[in-house]
Structure 1
Amino acid sequence: MRPMDITWNAADITLDSASPEPLYFQVARQLRAAIEDGRLPSGARLDNEIDLAAHLRLSRPTIRQAIQTLVHQGLLVRKRGVGTQVVRTKVARPLRLSSLFDDLAALDGKPESIVLLNRVEPAPADAIELLEAPTLTHLRRLKRVRLTGGEPLAVMNNYLPDGVIAPSDDELRTKGLYQLLRSAGVRMHAAQQTIGARLATGEDADLLHEEPGAPLLTMQRTTYDETGRVVEYGWHAYRATRYSFNLSLTAGAP
């Protein structure tokens, strides 16, 4: 993608220091709007962080956080020697987000859950970064084993910003996480997902009734609501003998 001679006018960004919305998020939201309505087309290059910070009278870390939010959402890309560029001009059609519980229920799999962790705890530095929430102090940590037909299928780990939902153990045993989020009024819009593989640890083997070293499929997912806020980060491990991911691919334009 060749950089375009289009410069974003930082004067178009309006900031409200009295708003409860963080300043970095105000910048990210308005940059995103410019990308979505075409004022910043695909290939356009942003000013560097120092210049943007000077124009907006903000700190460089604030600008960096705003840009990184859009990088995570797939709207911007950083390139060495080039700078920060727009990589998408339109919002993709909302992903049809579903949880493993939803998928199993749709297949009449009678999903069940064993709740291993359901607590609020201080947010470690890596979780703050994963949830893209620099002011976060506490989070909800969930860990469950998902079963179908009484047989374990996956170990599910999740971080959620504290206050998004406060499910009881009974709710987590009988309902899926996304079902609980939807019931709480959270409108999930899109997600970034990575699929991989690893070998089962001793703990995995005990929880999933596998042998240590057995192959497991893995998935990491960051889920965003319609405002661009991260509402959950999940990292899960699935029994490769019982589970697979199906992806539909289409050919691009020649």
Structure 2
Amino acid sequence: MTVPAFAAPKYYAAPKYYQVKEDLRRLALVAGPGAPLPTERSLAARYATSRTTVRQAISELVAEGILNRTQGKGTFVAPPHPAYIRQLTSFTEDAEAQHLKSASNILGTEPVLADEQLAARLRVPLETKLTRIERVRFINGEPLAHEAAYLPGLLPDLQQHLTEKGSLYAVLSTRYGIEITEAEDSVMTTIAGPLEARLLAIEMGAPLLLIQRRGLNASGVPVEWTRSVFRGDRFQFFARTRH
């Protein structure tokens, strides 16, 4: 069975508007850019909820850039808009460079099967075995980011090595012979849902920076895909390019 890439724990109950929002997000992904959204009235009937609840869900998706509202015409799926920035440093290395103390709370490692999105991002066949590692990252004792990394294959004792060393890139290099020589980052804004709010000690709806990274080896083969959300009130993204 394919495990959903970003499924929240089943024990964590999300508010009704958030459930509607995430379902609309999935519908927008399937429908594609420019597709019209049904009216608030029809959506309220579909989800057996109020138009106020539907309106809140839509408003947050508009704020995230997933949907566009056009006065007098309706609401539509927005076109893609990420900016791509290439750099090759880890969270741990970035913290050390700024003389900050970094730490991680490893929420777990587990084997998963690649769904369609992960298969495309890692360029592997559907249902390929992957290793998933989920962590909350801290700077000076304060939660800053929540991330989930996906690595092709099964990596035994990964959690133990990460606990000892801290840096995923260092562990991949020294323990598994996996060298990441190039990274592609897509950067966009989003807002905190119930899971991020709990893990990062912030309010739902707080601004977040979403960074999706694909790490490549020297042959250009993807060996890592990571989804990270950073607190907007504590994080500034900086990139340097050289000729």
Q: Return the TM-score normalized by structure 1.
A: 0.57
**DSSP 3-state at the match of 2:226:** strand
- CA-CA distance at 1:200 after TM superposition: 0.4
Does the 8 Å contact 1:123/1:137 carry over to 2? Answer: yes
Residue 106 of structure 2 corresponds to residue 115 of structure 1: yes
Residue 234 of structure 1 is matched in structure 2 by 226
- In 2, the alpha carbon distance for the partners of 1:247 and 1:96 equals 7
Give 1 or 2 for the bigger CA radius of gyration.
1
**DSSP 3-state at the match of 2:117:** helix
Does the 8 Å contact 1:113/1:172 carry over to 2? Answer: no
Does the 8 Å contact 1:158/1:234 carry over to 2? Answer: yes
Letter in 1 for 2:222: V
Equivalent residues in 2 for 1:160-239, closer than 5 Å: 160-163=151-154, 165-173=155-163, 174-183=165-174, 184-239=176-231
Residue 105 of structure 1 is matched in structure 2 by 96
Letter in 2 for 1:228: G
- In 2, the alpha carbon distance for the partners of 1:168 and 1:177 equals 9
**DSSP 3-state at the match of 2:108:** strand
Residue 148 of structure 1: which of 139, 162, 166 is its match? 139
- In 2, the alpha carbon distance for the partners of 1:140 and 1:122 equals 9
- In 1, the alpha carbon distance for the partners of 2:156 and 2:228 equals 21
Letter in 2 for 1:112: A
Identity rate, percent:
31
Q: Aligned residues, how many?
A: 156
Residues 238, 118 of structure 1: alpha-carbon distance in 2 compared, 3 angstrom cutoff: same
- In 2, the alpha carbon distance for the partners of 1:182 and 1:118 equals 18
- CA-CA distance at 1:135 after TM superposition: 6.5
- In 1, the alpha carbon distance for the partners of 2:211 and 2:241 equals 19
**DSSP 3-state at the match of 2:189:** strand
**DSSP 3-state at the match of 2:146:** strand
Equivalent residues in 2 for 1:45-60, closer than 5 Å: none
- In 2, the alpha carbon distance for the partners of 1:214 and 1:188 equals 32
Equivalent residues in 2 for 1:84-99, closer than 5 Å: 97-99=88-90
**DSSP 3-state at the match of 1:188:** coil
Residue 133 of structure 1: which of 124, 137, 140 is its match? 124
Equivalent residues in 2 for 1:8-23, closer than 5 Å: none
Structure 2: state its 5+ residue gaps.
Answer: 1-85
- Give deviations 1:115-171, integer Å, cap 9, x for gaps: 1120112222221111101276210011100012211010011110014x4344343
- In 1, the alpha carbon distance for the partners of 2:221 and 2:239 equals 26
Does the 8 Å contact 2:87/2:183 carry over to 1? Answer: no
Letter in 2 for 1:235: R
- In 1, the alpha carbon distance for the partners of 2:138 and 2:179 equals 27
Post-superposition, which runs of at least 4 consecutive aligned residues in structure 1 deviate over 3 A?
A: 165-168
Residues 249, 179 of structure 1: alpha-carbon distance in 2 compared, 3 angstrom cutoff: closer
Q: Return the TM-score normalized by structure 2.
A: 0.59
- Give deviations 1:179-218, integer Å, cap 9, x for gaps: 1112132222212211111010011011011111000011
Letter in 1 for 2:124: A
- In 1, the alpha carbon distance for the partners of 2:136 and 2:178 equals 24
- In 1, the alpha carbon distance for the partners of 2:209 and 2:98 equals 20
For the aligned residue pairs, the C-alpha RMSD in angstroms reads 2.0
